[in-house]
Structure 1
């Protein structure tokens, strides 16, 4: 399909958007992913002295850490995910569908582009190794390109848990995220105060589930988008954030910084949930004006375009950074001033432009995988024990593979990725594909 045809199709989709669709949710999702992409690109610091070396700007330039309050917007993605997943599941149930069919449909768009990324990275790593490339360089490049998979691991787990968690929301409402937040606090206390290892790891699930549940409450009106609700959330969240970080024991950075004993994302902490509270209040406050603005065709078409390839943008943005590093630094095209200096700040503009151009090429090549719709179970299909077992087996394989890749040290396996984790992922993805075809 040509670029012109794609643009025409996107405009057609924008024009045919149902009146009941909440366009503000789509805008927030697009803004969140773009902010993550730009934030990651700005945080990368690379030097070349015959060998490529990488570090984080946050570790080298401490005054940049408060800016992570602007760029750490993953809570927004889980918030709108809760809103959208509740709406999608309700619609699926109204058509007579069951939980297994919904999970198969909902995971399809996440798994297909992820499978393409891992297949390309594994193949590229093997080819580079065959041509005699430095294994350490291959391992570092592949490790950097797979950093986005930690988010996908958490989000897929939240999707699978959406049916029972939505049922809990219907019965207990906002009590559910309150309990989950208390569990996050207990995990923080056990990890930071009592030095009990591994207890806080549950926060990887509890924190993101809490934000996802807030999305349920926003969608059904238990958390209304009124100034009387939004402004107190913003104020309380900011006060808590300052007290927990500037005064309290949590770091200011909302992104992990090497060398810090406590990090706000690994696992998520109460400080990150305080930031999520601020972002929730802002989302509620801007709801009505954003919906009015998005009635205009041009901005709404732009939002539709970004959302049509949103997983491709997210999954490939650090691969674009790797390619940009290889193109700019060994060739001497980009100078290497001291990070944080005026020259370094000025060079962030060409750096971002080059990476944006590379990412556009990657999206042009791989975005069609995300836009293409594979076999999807009908509303009455994918029910029964067999469908549930296939779905759970496939999801378990995918999650085990993603978790293994996320936790692996750099350079494992001949392709720069842990072989067993890759095998688990591809097996799980194949099972999910088989289940979709069988029940479509």
Structure 2
């Protein structure tokens, strides 16, 4: 088996063009994997407390500084900026328009959502029909759909990626500085008034601004050690000042004990965290590139990227399912009290069990990432934009409140992305065949 794996690895390695930036693929896979493992650790499950979404952060404040390392969503937006700029420039050279380009991005990101939303919609209906408490079903669906907040934010950034690239090409660093400054103003308004909704524009402003560091990377503007060090220093210094002087909390992941969240809604602190992280990973680019010349590591990177959306979207469904089974069986021996010595010692086994369940889900639903080629004519611009708006709206609401309320299933939110993808042309419907007599 090992010999076969290595033979396949060497084949994939040889087929990879020299022009491909392997570090981009590796960082994308690594960032999502860190997020998955972080979620599996942060969420505490016990026979006494049930499922605690922020269990580790709420019960152990010493873990909050660790979130500066494990909150790696900025890295995903960094590689997203690199990839989107590369893709859009390629589209421009081939005379592919914005509408066709955006529809292709929506298909890549949106189609893997379809089975997740349908499975959870059916699960909620069945659970409620068998007498499950609406509050319990609401929490389960909300937890399982937490990954969708990131997808909603990323889709928003994808919509504006081409015009933002124009800003970068014309204004350079000022396009980033002005965007982050605007995000800071939004934070001031939101925090001083206590209005969380006023901070929602920063889901777009912060991530779209930081996303442009990926453009800088692609254009070689972050290739020198000096610039990477400067990027790290600016990010670390500003983040330290914002947290040290307040009112931003230490934890970069939402904790129930904090009055303000750095990530829900996204705050300007996330941009500076991303700058510090980007400075570090880009300083390591050359040794990482050399490491990725290993066929075995490169093949693993390729395999993860082939099913990265499925891996990300279903990992909390695996946790929610396992947690409810163990709680229903009253398996106290398998649910040690969080933060005890036994709990820490069993975390590797817990993650391995969840990895196995997630692996099964990836095998079942991963095919939705292998969409058929789309040879349809370019749509009107408004169609993919409305499709993206429908997807983002539904996902944002479900990531916050799930699919259920006190009255039952809230049909509109899971159906909105699904109907939006069908009506506005993201889903490629089968053509009707015409037969002549």
Instruction: Give the TM-score normalised by structure 1.
Output: 0.90
Alignment counterpart, residue 387 of structure 1, candidates 377, 380, 383: 380
Q: Is the 8 A contact 1:123 1:415 kept in 2?
A: no
Matched residue SS, 1:387: coil
| Secondary structure of the structure 1 residue equivalent to 2:44 | strand
Quick check: 1:402 aligned with 2:401?
no
Change (3 A) 1:395 1:198: closer
Contact 2:91 2:101 in 1 (8 A): yes
Shift in Å, 1:408: 3.0
1:116 corresponds to: 115
- How many residue pairs match? The answer is 427
Moved segments of 4+, more than 6 Å: 4-11
Query: Aligned partners of 2:137 and 2:297: how far apart in 1?
Result: 40
Residues 153 and 399, structure 1, Cα contact 8 Å, conserved in 2: yes
Which is further off, 184-193 or 275-284? 184-193
CA distance 1:398–1:133, change in 2 (3 Å): same
- Asked if structure 1 preserves the Cα contact closer than 8 Å seen for 2:121 and 2:403, the reply is no
- Kept after mapping to 2: 8 A contact 1:390/1:432: yes
Please give the residue correspondences for 1:351-390 in structure 2 after superposition, counting only pairs within 5 Å. 351-370=350-369, 372-377=370-375, 381-382=377-378, 386-390=379-383
Give how far 1:359 is off. Answer: 0.9
* Distance apart, 1:48 and its partner CA: 2.4
Task: Give 3-state SS (helix, strand or coil) of 1:161's partner.
Answer: helix
Deviation at 1:196, TM superposition (A): 5.5
**1:79 paired to 2:78:** yes
3-state SS of 2:381 partner: helix
- Counterpart for residue 282 of structure 2: 284
Distance in 2 (alpha carbons) for counterparts of 1:21 and 1:415:
49
The superposition leaves residues 200-233 of structure 1 with CA deviations (integer Å, 9 ceiling, x where unpaired) of 2211111101111111111112x22211111222
1:165 aligns with 164
Counterpart Cα distance in 1 of 2:333 and 2:284: 40
In the other structure, the counterpart of 2:434 is none
User: 1:426 pairs with 418, 424, 428, which one?
Assistant: 418
CA distance in 2, matches of 1:193, 1:111: 36
Residue 126 of structure 1 contacts residue 414 of structure 1 at CA under 8 Å; is this kept in 2? no
- Residues 259 and 409 of structure 1, relative CA distance in 2, 3 Å threshold: farther
SS in 1 for 2:383: helix
CA distance in 1, matches of 2:194, 2:279: 33
Aligned pair in 2 of structure 1 residues 133, 5: CA closer, same or farther (>3 Å)? farther
In the alignment, structure 1 residue 238 sits paired with structure 2 residue 236: yes
- Where do 5+ consecutive residues of structure 1 fail to align? none
How far apart are the structure 2 equivalents of 1:270 and 1:401?
Answer: 24
- Residue aligned with 1:46, SS: strand
Match of 1:307 among 305, 317, 322: 305
How far, CA to CA, are the matches of 1:330 and 1:64 in structure 2? 30
The question of whether the paired residues in 1 share the 8 Å contact of 2:77 and 2:211 is answered with: yes
Q: CA RMSD in A?
A: 2.6
Tell me the TM-score normalized by structure 2: 0.90
Deviation string for 1:114-139 (max 9, x for gaps)?
11110111112222333333333222
> Residues 79-106 of structure 1, C-alpha deviation per residue, up to 9 Å, x if partnerless?
1000000001111111121111111111
CA drift of 1:377 comes to 4.1
